[in-house]
C-alpha cells in the first residue's frame, strides 16, 4: 500500500505563512505586496502560483533569473515566517493516521504542489518530515497530474510491484482528486481545507473523509 499526502489543508494549516512569504518576496524584489489569493486558486502548484501572481501583479511574464530570485526570496521568508505563524497547526487526526499507516506497512510519501524546499519547511514545526519516505513536488512539475505520476514512479523505484491502482492520493481540493484520477490512482478527499465533503464527492473522489480522524480506507 502506497499513500501520498498533499500538505496544505491536508496535513497542516500554516496560518497564512505561504501567502505572507510570497507577498514579502514580491515586496522586496518589486515593491509590490502581491497577494497570491488574488491571482491563483487552492491546489495550484507553486510554479503556477508564482507565474500567475507575477503576471497579475506586474502585467508581464517573469524572466528566468527573476523566477529564480523570486523562489529564493520566498523560501527565505517562509523559513522564518513558518516558525512565527501564530495560527500554524497540525490538522485533526494527521499524526495518528500517519503512525497507523506506518505500522500497517504502508509506504508513505508526499505529493505537493509546493516547491520541495517549501514543502519540507512547512512540515518542520510539527516534526512531520520523519513520516515521509519520498515525495514529488511542484519543483518537479508545475502540473499536478504529472507530479502525481512522478510520485508513483518514485514509489515503483522503491518497490517494483507498485501499481497506480494500489496508490492512495490524499488531498483537500478537487485538483488533488483530478490529479489522482489522471494518474490512475485512488483519490481520498479530506474536507479539512476549503472544500466540503459534498464538493469533494462531486469532484469524483473515490473516498471522502470529513477529516483524518475518520477511518482511513484500507486500514
Asked whether residue 123 is assigned to any structural domain, the reply reads yes
Residue that finishes a domain, picked among 84, 105, 140? 84
Q: In this structure, are 96 and 139 located in the same domain?
A: yes
> What pLDDT digit, counting tens, does each position of 75-104 carry?
999 999 999 999 999 999 999 999 999 999
* Burial state string for 99-110 with b = 16 or more CB within 10 A and e = fewer than 16: eebeeeebbbbb
Whether the CB-CB separation of 185 and 168 falls below 8 Å is answered with: yes
Residue that finishes a domain, picked among 63, 84, 105? 84
Asked whether residue 216 is assigned to any structural domain, the reply reads no
Q: In this structure, are 168 and 199 located in the same domain?
A: yes
Q: In this structure, are 114 and 194 located in the same domain?
A: yes
Name the domain count of the chain.
2
Dmax (CA) for the chain in angstroms is: 51
Q: In this structure, are 153 and 174 located in the same domain?
A: yes
Q: Name the least confident of 42-56, 91-105, 107-121, 128-142.
A: 42-56
Residue 40 is predicted with a pLDDT of: 75
Q: In this structure, are 100 and 130 located in the same domain?
A: yes
pLDDT tier, 218 (very low <50, low <70, confident <90, very high otherwise): confident
Q: In this structure, are 154 and 193 located in the same domain?
A: yes
Q: In this structure, are 182 and 130 located in the same domain?
A: yes
Q: In this structure, are 172 and 119 located in the same domain?
A: yes
CATH of the domain at 48: 1.10.150
Asked whether residue 217 is assigned to any structural domain, the reply reads no
Asked whether residue 215 is assigned to any structural domain, the reply reads no
The residue among 15, 4, 142 whose CA lies nearest residue 78 is: 15
Q: In this structure, are 41 and 128 located in the same domain?
A: no
State the average pLDDT over residues 201-205. 97
- The model's pTM is 0.93
Q: In this structure, are 23 and 102 located in the same domain?
A: no
Provide the domain limits for residue 163: 2-14+88-209
Q: Is the pLDDT of residue 38 over 90?
A: no
Q: In this structure, are 132 and 77 located in the same domain?
A: no
State the average pLDDT over residues 15-42. 91
Asked whether residue 214 is assigned to any structural domain, the reply reads no
Residue that finishes a domain, picked among 61, 84, 107? 84
The residue among 82, 104, 69 whose CA lies nearest residue 7 is: 82
Asked whether residue 141 is assigned to any structural domain, the reply reads yes
Q: State the burial class of residue 31 (Cβ atoms within 10 Å of its Cβ: 0-12, 13-18, 19+).
A: exposed
Q: Is the pLDDT of residue 37 over 90?
A: no
Asked whether residue 218 is assigned to any structural domain, the reply reads no
CATH of the domain at 171: 3.40.50.1000
Amino acid at each position: 500500500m502506497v499513500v501520498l499526502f498533499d500538505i496544505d489543508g491536508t496535513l497542516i494549516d500554516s496560518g497564512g505563512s505561504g501567502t505572507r512569504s510570497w507577498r514579502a518576496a514580491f515586496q522586496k524584489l518589486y515593491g509590490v505586496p502581491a497577494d497570491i489569493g488574488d491571482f491563483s486558486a487552492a491546489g495550484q502548484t507553486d510554479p503556477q502560483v508564482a507565474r500567475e501572481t507575477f503576471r497579475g501583479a506586474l502585467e508581464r511574464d517573469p524572466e528566468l533569473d527573476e523566477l529564480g530570485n523570486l523562489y529564493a526570496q520566498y523560501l527565505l521568508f517562509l523559513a522564518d515566517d513558518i516558525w512565527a505563524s501564530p495560527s500554524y497547526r497540525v490538522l485533526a487526526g494527521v499524526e495518528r493516521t500517519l503512525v497507523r499507516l506506518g505500522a500497517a506497512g504502508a509506504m508513505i510519501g508526499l505529493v505537493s504542489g509546493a516547491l520541495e524546499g517549501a514543502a519540507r519547511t512547512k512540515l518542520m514545526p510539527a516534526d512531520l518530515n520523519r513520516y515521509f519516505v519520498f515525495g514529488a513536488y511542484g519543483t518537479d512539475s508545475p502540473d499536478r497530474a504529472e507530479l502525481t505520476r512522478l510520485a508513483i514512479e518514485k514509489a515503483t523505484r522503491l518497490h517494483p510491484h507498485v501499481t497506480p491502482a494500489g496508490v492512495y492520493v490524499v488531498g483537500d481540493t478537487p485538483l488533488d482528486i483530478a490529479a489522482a484520477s489522471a494518474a490512475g490512482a485512488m483519490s481520498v478527499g479530506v474536507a479539512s481545507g476549503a472544500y466540503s465533503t459534498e464538493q469533494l464527492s462531486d469532484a469524483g473522489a473515490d473516498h471522502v473523509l470529513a477529516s483524518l480522524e475518520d477511518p482511513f480506507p484500507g486500514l
